[in-house]
Chain A
Amino acid sequence: LAKTTQPISMDSYEGQEVNITCSHNNIATNDYITWYQQFPSQGPRFIIQGYKTKVTNEVASLFIPADRKSSTLSLPRVSLSDTAVYYCLVGDRATNAGKSTFGDGTTLTVKP
């Protein structure tokens, strides 16, 4: 299972763009990169998933360089409600029974 490394914490202010980078140096060819958001006492919630280049949805963008050894989650114009822990997971549903290992995550604190 690919190991991931993220910054432990980040601070931001309302309205700013936040970029959280995740390192996954031993990512396998079939692995996808998925980001989740978790609020206290809740299960993680899916944000975005990608394999290469750039993916964008209504809440975030995901940038993946050509070597795929890292990825960056970009949250545009964050608000106080974006304060949460963000996890990047690397895995493939066809191998290892589709399980992925959670890293330590990044605690994002958005200030007014």
Chain B
Amino acid sequence: GAVVSQHPSRVICKSGTSVKIECRSLDFQATTMFWYRQFPKQSLMLMATSNEGSKATYEQGVEKDKFLINHASLTLSTLTVTSAHPEDSSFYICSAREEGASSYNSPLHFGNGTRLTVT
């Protein structure tokens, strides 16, 4: 089945530094990927839609200059948390769908998430 790989699974960084998280679709192509943030005991909150070859679309209230998204290929999207602060500590998850007519309305496939801790 379709696999989405996310790296790293866990990262600790100091306040003020930037952290990059990678999301790869391993056996399918994805022109669109999604990034979520999840705080403890809460649901996933959609942050942005990553579009291959074009700018990401951010949800209301999400700072695009703080959460930089790059989708340079059909199998890779990256999320960079810039100038991270302790309140950015969270669980970040990406997802993607298989493309193509035969996969119409195929379900989302999720990465295993990245636990970011900013000290």
Is A93 in contact with B43, judged by CB distance below 8 angstroms? no
CA distance A46 to B32 in the complex (A): 18
- The one of A41, A42, A46 in contact with B107, judged by C-beta atoms closer than 8 angstroms, is A46
In the bound complex, residues from chain B placing their C-beta under 8 Å from that of A45 are 110
Question: Known: A43-B93, A43-B113. Contact between A100 and B108, CB under 8 A?
Answer: yes
Q: Which stretch (A21-29, A59-67, A69-77, A101-109) binds chain B?
A: A101-109
A87's closest neighbor in chain B, by CB?
B43
CA distance A94 to B109 in the complex (A): 16
In the bound complex, residues from chain B placing their C-beta under 8 Å from that of A44 are 44, 93, 95, 108, 110
Main secondary structure of the interface of B (DSSP, over half): strand
In the bound complex, residues from chain A placing their C-beta under 8 Å from that of B107 are 34, 36, 46, 49
For the complex, is B77 an interface residue (Cβ under 8 Å from A)? no
For the complex, is B97 an interface residue (Cβ under 8 Å from A)? yes
